[in-house]
Amino acid sequence: MTKSYSSIRTSLDYDPVYEQRDSEVEDVVATVSDEGEQLDAIANIRGWYSTRTDAAFAIKRYMAFEQDAQTTISALAEPIDQAFSTADGGSALWEAERVARHQRAHAEDPEYGPGEVERAWGLPQEFPEPSKHEPSMEGLLWQLWFGVVHAARRTSWKDEVAQERLVDLVTQFKSRPDPPLPHNATKALRNDSIWKSGEVWSNLNMFGSAAREDWNMVPGGGAGYSQPEIHAWINVNAFVARLTVAGVIEQVRRVGGHLVLVTGDGF
């Protein structure tokens, strides 16, 4: 049997939280026969990300041939388009101006030259504080791309048809037209990395960031050495390789000791 994370841990590494999680993972492996379902449970035990989001469920249905790519993409992309073009229902405009106001308060600092603050953050504007917060662009993108990488983790690298089906889904997301920027987008809003490029799909906005986070789930790091976790690590790296060969992502680059995907959004 493949050694668990706890079985190879030394006394110097002992952490009761990890030990408890390892024990829970071992129980899942022993009692759940399907490796995909094992990985769903392990993701929640390890705290990788939620596997119970709308995005995760939709992508799972797509991978099971229960719905087509167009249905899947429409369901997941339309709320993201709406959040982007409305600046999270106005919340992002208000938050960006709050940050800009703080920056303008330091206009006398020596690091700023004449007019530099205005060039960097724009002129002051007033936006009402939202009475309710709509689903955020950032939150929806995290859910979408974590749903994709988790589907990659639970799809065997040996299953070429299934892995290529997932590659095709990302390819179709990338070919989707970008939604328009908010009509009242400010310089402060455009300083936010989400809105800076003015693109969502053509640069796979935040996909590289989600993949970078997922790469922390390496056996011996954010994952253990159970058999499904080892398989998941192989599977997700095979998926990234397929994306690279297909030209969906530009390259995998080492930055500061970390691997990052270059997708067009800088990450």
pLDDT tens digits, 192-209: 888 888 999 998 999 988
pLDDT at 11: 46
pLDDT category at 267 given cuts 50, 70, 90 is very low
CB proximity list for 76: less than 8 A, separation 6 or greater: 54, 55, 58, 59, 144
Number of Cβ atoms within 10 Å of the Cβ of 234: 14
* Proportion of the chain above pLDDT 90, given as a percent: 56
Q: What is the pLDDT of residue 252?
A: 58
Tokens coding 55: 């995005």
Position 209 scores a pLDDT of 86
Confidence at residue 200, expressed as pLDDT on a 0 to 100 scale: 95
Pick from 103, 133, 137, 134: which is nearest to 209 by CA? 137
Q: Once rounded to an integer, what is the mean pLDDT over residues 7-35? A: 79
pTM: 0.85
Q: How confident is the model at residue 107 (pLDDT cuts 50, 70, 90)?
A: low
Tokens 């206009």 correspond to 107
pLDDT digits (tens, 9 = 90+) for 251-262: 555 444 444 555
Confidence band, pLDDT 50/70/90 cuts, at residue 19: confident
Ranges 14-18, 59-63, 200-204, 254-258: which has the least confidence:
254-258
Q: How confident is residue 221, by pLDDT bands cut at 50, 70 and 90?
A: confident
